[in-house]
Chains A and B, each alone.
Chain A
Amino acid sequence: MARKLGFLVVAAFLVLASICESAIFNPVSESHRSAALELFSPADGSFGSLEETYEALRTFEVLGIEKKPDVKPSACASVVDTLRSTSSSLKDLFHALRVNGILKCELKDEAFGGIESRLKDSLNSANSLLDFYYTIGGLKRIKDQTSEVDVNLGDADKVFRSIKALSQSDGRWRFSSNNPESSNAAAGIALEALAGVISLASPEIDHSLLATLKSDIGKLFDGIERYDDGACYFDEKLVDASGHQGPLSASASVTRGITAFAAVTSESLNLPGEKILGLAKFFLGIGLPGSAKDLYYQIDALACLENIRQVSTVFFLSRNLLLGSIPLILSLPATVLSVTKKDQLKVQVSSVLGSSAPPLSVKLMQIFTSGSKDASIIDQKLKFDPDNSVHVLETLPTNVDVGKYIFSFEIIFDDPEHKKNYATGGRTKVPIHVTGVIKINNAEIAILDSDIGSVEAQKKLDLPGDNAAALSANHLQKLRMSFGLTTPFGHAFKPHQAFLKLRHESGVEHIFVVGNTGKKFEIILDFLGLVEKFFYLSGKYDIQLTVGDSVMENSFLQPLGHIELDLPDAPEKAARPPPQLVDPYSRYGPKAEINHIFRAPDKRPPRELSLAFSGLVLLPLLGFLAGLLHLRANLKNFPKSTAPATFAVLFHLGIAAVLVLYALFWFKLDLFTTLKALGLLGIFLMFVGHKTLSHLASTSSKLKSA
């Protein structure tokens, strides 16, 4: 396990290191389809809003997913509702028409008529870019879906100019005239809207307007950002209210825009193929997006790039040469080739969505050895296998041994005309790992006498394999371990890792790097110089050898046996061996369970005894009452007249209320509540008490004086 892990870490590191200069982009594949089904999963037969429905349907359509969830009934119902309602917003109308474009719900032409007039009205009052986009987009969808309604724009030039008024000098656009920030995403939206205007214009748009727009697109592409691996994207810093803006949405928006524009214009755009390919690489480089929205952006933009020529072929057959550049992606099913298993180098060339490319051949031009600038020029044509549509390099060039390389490929079209229609990005560099089984020979371990260097004991080792060398040595002797590594082609091989480990019984470990002298790997441990490092610990040491490399298929880490070391006793001041770390697995393992100690409950008396005493404490009260009777106590002094009697009764009730409050305090109230209530009761009690007692005092003083 440990052996495999170490190997993987090394491999991952090397792959990461080499990916920086050259990277592989794989076209859209089956994993995108399963991701799409997972990300766009309808809840209760619908995708939520019409916008989400359109995104899901469009993604499924582009990916050609047959087994899509059936949302047509609910989506169509929603479309009809939205189109009928007079209060639905422009955005909803637009999305409803887009969904209808895919689903082809059964709609009457009158429905379109009403909407068409509504859209044209709002076009006259539109002032923000999104208003124009939704209205023109809606009108264009109506035109595509029905021929009954006349949606042509008479004043197309005016609309065109008002959209164009929002453009900036750097080719970007503003969302509205009172928003000064320019954005790439807005540029894409504007281009799409303008493309709609052009297609709806009934007298054609003024050509000078198209020419300025063309130069705007050129400026827009000048502002493209670029990664080291050739991927290009449009950055987006503006955060609008919808919040879902980033390089991906901006690039997707621009891609949609230029595709739409290219589809309707007769002007030549002359977009640099290398930037189109860069955009394709950017969208593919994302891999599998995590959210449905991102997946829609990615897939929709890739579909636009793939169809950039087809669209123009349909409408303007002669323009496809000018527009050009469908990106073609060169990908490799496997970039790790084993020379031992005689793996063949296979190369696939396809469009971004994975459909097949025109007839072409792939040439291996150069091979760079990783880590050096040297390149060997090969110029070898790969053989095309039409069954699997892969280009195969049947035999690796003779100078390719195990190791890490960067292969440089070039795509040559069979028909030279295609060169103008497709963007291949010149030479494509791909990192390749060539692996193989490394032969280990002349492995031996020996004990040498220090002074003369004569061999005391020697054992041949079988690597990789089981070895149980049993050696013994004292501090005047040396340990020598040596082996040689050769590749399947017989060249010397230098692995990334070659370590010898000695481990004492007590767990103290010492690791030594095995050095190489040309063809041979050798390490000599002179124990005289190592006694201090070994902490003067005599006894049994286990020997372990590690040889590993990312291109070595038989990397290993295995015990070789043990050596009994007889070292001198430690002097007074010698360093103590460090305390051994606890097993790292136990450090993260479960901790010992914590037992909480609670105070044992005190012994309670039997229930009967407690109840008996409760009764007993009432006895003195009975005695007290009996004594009162005996003393002939009476209530004759209680005030007779109404007012004093009322006060006296209130006084006694007040005292009773305070006692009840105390009882409540005992059972459930807290001190603060009690004190507040007590304060109020106290004031009341003071008042009535004073009245009662002063009345009594006056009565008694009257009696005295009388």
Chain B
Amino acid sequence: MGKSSTTKDAQALFQSLRSAYTATPTNLKIIDLYIVFAVVTAVIQVVYMALVGSFPFNSFLSGVLSCVGTAVLAVSLRIQVNKENKEFKDLPPERAFADFVLCNLVLHLVIMNFLG
């Protein structure tokens, strides 16, 4: 009884979450997809390291940090672009995107230097 209700509750929760997410604007969904892509890539690299060892450690670090950094920057972009977020109401999304591009370029310059 309790178990089925928990499952049901969970199902209901997911249902509501999914219905709520459907309302999210497409551009935010794209950013989310991008974040997932970056994080999964990072996870694959971590799995690889767990399997064979961390030998060129700087290469591993730069690979993972590149993904994580991109994800973090994308999260920041998402926060700034989100229209629901009143804090960045005055900031045009183009300006946020410009920041995103600039930060990515700087981040990857460092990553490339560290790649070895």
In the bound complex, do residue A666 and residue B53 qualify as a contact, i.e. CB atoms below 8 Å apart? no
CA distance A620 to B33 in the complex (A): 10
Q: Which residues of B (13-71) have their CB < 8 Å from a CB of A?
A: 26, 29-30, 33-34, 36-38, 40-41, 44-45, 48, 51-53, 55
**From B33, B51, B113, contact of A665 by CB (8 A):** B113
Q: With a CB–CB cut-off of 8 A, which chain A residues contact B33?
A: 624, 627-628, 631
Interface membership of chain A positions 586-620, coded 1 if the CB is closer than 8 angstroms to chain B and 0 otherwise: 00000000000000001111000110010011011
Question: Which residue of the partner chain, among A605, A696, A697, contacts B53 with CB atoms under 8 Å?
Answer: A605
Contact string against A for B residues 72-91, beta-carbon threshold 8 Å, 1 for contact and 0 otherwise: 00000000000000000000
Q: Are B55 and A613 in contact (CB under 8 A)?
A: no
A-side contacts of B41, CB under 8 Å? 617, 620-621
Residue contact A655 to B101, C-beta cutoff 8 Å: yes
Asked if A635 lies at the interface with its beta carbon under 8 angstroms from chain B, I say no
B115 to chain A: which residues have CB within 8 Å? 666
Flag if B105 contacts A633 (CB, 8 Å): no
Q: Give which listed residue, B45, B52, B94, contacts A697 with CB less than 8 A.
A: B94
Q: How far is the CA of A700 from the CA of B115 in the complex (A)?
A: 40
A693 interface hit (Cβ, 8 Å): yes
A604–B56 Cα distance when bound, in Å, is 9
Contacts of B94 in A (CB 8 A): 693-694, 696-697, 700
Structural contact, A616 and B26, CB atoms closer than 8 A: no
- Complex Cα distance, B40 from A627, in Å, reads 14
**Which chain B positions have C-beta within 8 A of A619?**
40, 44
B112 in the interface, Cβ–Cβ < 8 Å?
yes
Q: For the complex, what is the distance from the CA of A419 to the CA of B29, rounded to whole Å?
A: 128
Cα A620 to Cα B63 in complex, Å, equals 14
Kindly state the separation between the CA atoms of A632 and B38 in the bound complex, as whole angstroms: 20
Please measure, in the bound complex, the distance between the C-alpha atom of A603 and the C-alpha atom of B51, giving whole angstroms. Answer: 13
Contact with A along B95-116 (1 / 0, CB 8 A): 1011001000100110011010
Contact B55 A697 (CB under 8 A): no
Any B CB within 8 A of the CB of A489: no
Residues of the B chain whose Cβ atoms lie less than 8 Å from the Cβ of A602: 53, 55
A678 in the interface (beta carbon within 8 A): yes
- Residue on B nearest A609 in the bound complex, by CB: B52
Chain B residues with Cβ under 8 A from A624's Cβ?
33-34, 36-37
Interface string of A652-668 (1 = CB under 8 A from B): 00010011001101100
A633–B30 contact, CB under 8 A?
yes
- Cβ–Cβ < 8 Å partners of A663 in chain B: 112
CA distance A659 to B105 in the complex (A): 8
Closest beta carbon of chain B to A661's beta carbon, Å: 9
Any B CB within 8 A of the CB of A689: yes
**B105 touching A658, Cβ below 8 Å:** yes
Residues of B within 8 A of A655 (CB): 101, 105
CB of A609 within 8 A of CB of B51, answer yes
Supposing A603-B53, A613-B48, A624-B34 touch, asked if A693 and B98 sit within 8 A by C-beta, the answer is yes
Consensus secondary structure, chain B interface: helix
The answer to whether B52 touches A689 (Cβ under 8 A) is: no
* Interface presence of A671 (CB below 8 A): yes
Task: Let me know if A243 is at the binding interface, CB within 8 A.
Answer: no
- Contact indicator A662/B108 (Cβ below 8 Å): yes
**A623 B98 Cβ-Cβ under 8 A:** no
Q: Which A residues touch B55, using CB under 8 A?
A: 602-604
Measured between beta carbons, the chain A residues less than 8 angstroms from B37 are 620-621, 623-624, 627
Instruction: Name which of A616, A620, A658, A666 has the most chain B CB atoms within 10 A of its CB.
Output: A620
Q: How far is the CB of A668 from chain B (nearest CB, A)?
A: 12
| A631 in contact with B30 given A603-B55, A697-B92, A697-B94 (CB within 8 Å) | yes
Query: A691 to nearest B CB, angstroms?
Result: 11
Alpha-carbon distance between A621 and B26 when the two chains are bound, in angstroms? 19
The distance from the CB of A23 to the nearest CB of chain B, in whole angstroms, is 75
Residue of B36, B52, B98 touching A605 (CB-CB under 8 A) = B52
Determine how close the nearest CB of chain A comes to the CB of B1; give it in whole angstroms.
Answer: 38
Contact digits for A692-703, partner B, Cβ 8 Å, 1 yes 0 no: 011011001000
B92 surroundings in chain A (CB, below 8 A): 697, 700
Point out the residue from B30, B44, B109 that lies within 8 Å of A678, measured CB to CB.
B109
Does the CB pair A631–B29 fall under 8 Å? yes
User: Are A693 and B30 within 8 A (Cβ)?
Assistant: no
Q: Given contacts A617-B44, A693-B95, is CB(A628)–CB(B30) below 8 Å?
A: yes
Complex contacts, A671 vs chain B, CB 8 Å: 113
Q: Which residues of A contact B45 (CB under 8 A)?
A: 613, 617
Please give, as numbers and ranges, the residues of chain A lying within 8 Å of B38 by CB-CB distance. Answer: 620
Distance between B4 CB and nearest chain A CB, rounded to angstroms: 32
- For residue A604, which residues in chain B have a CB less than 8 angstroms away from its CB? 55
Which partner residue on chain B sits nearest A698 by CB separation?
B94
Q: Looking across the interface, which residue of chain A has its beta carbon closest to that of B52?
A: A605
Q: Which of A622-656 contact B (CB under 8 A)?
A: 623-624, 627-628, 631-633, 655
Instruction: With CB as the reference atom, state the residue of chain B lying closest to A665.
Output: B112
Question: With contacts A631-B33, A632-B26, A697-B92 known, is A662 near B52, CB below 8 A?
Answer: no
Smallest beta-carbon distance A626→chain B, Å: 9
Q: Does the CB pair A689–B98 fall under 8 Å?
A: yes
| Smallest Cβ-Cβ distance to B39: which chain A residue | A620
Give the chain B neighbours of A690 by CB distance below 8 A. Answer: 98
Q: Is A613 a contact of B44 with CB atoms below 8 Å?
A: yes
Contacts of A694 in B (CB 8 A): 94
What's the least CB distance linking B37 to chain A, in Å? 4
Query: Which residue on chain B has the smallest CB distance to residue A699?
Result: B94
For B34, B55, B108, B112, the residue with the greatest tally of chain A CB atoms inside 10 Å of its CB is: B112
B112 contacts which of A605, A633, A662, A689 (Cβ < 8 Å)? Answer: A662
Min CB–CB distance B50 → chain A (angstroms):
11
Taking the closest CB of chain B, its distance from the CB of A633, in whole angstroms, is 6
Shortest Cβ distance from B97 into A: residue: A693
Residues of B within 8 A of A666 (CB): 112, 115
Chain A: minimal CB distance from B53 (Å)? 7
Q: How far, in Å, is A605 (CB) from chain B's closest CB?
A: 4
Interface CB pairs A-B, < 8 A, 21? A602-B53, A605-B52, A605-B53, A609-B51, A609-B52, A613-B45, A619-B40, A620-B41, A623-B37, A624-B34, A628-B30, A631-B26, A631-B33, A655-B105, A658-B105, A663-B112, A665-B112, A682-B105, A693-B95, A700-B92, A700-B94
Which are the 5 A-B pairs with shortest beta-carbon distances? A605-B52, A624-B37, A693-B94, A620-B40, A627-B33
Taking A604-B55, A665-B113, A678-B109 as known contacts, 19 extra A-B pairs with beta carbons closer than 8 A to each other, sorted by chain A number, are A605-B52, A605-B53, A610-B52, A616-B48, A620-B37, A620-B41, A621-B37, A623-B40, A624-B33, A628-B30, A631-B29, A633-B26, A655-B101, A655-B105, A662-B108, A662-B112, A671-B113, A696-B94, A700-B92
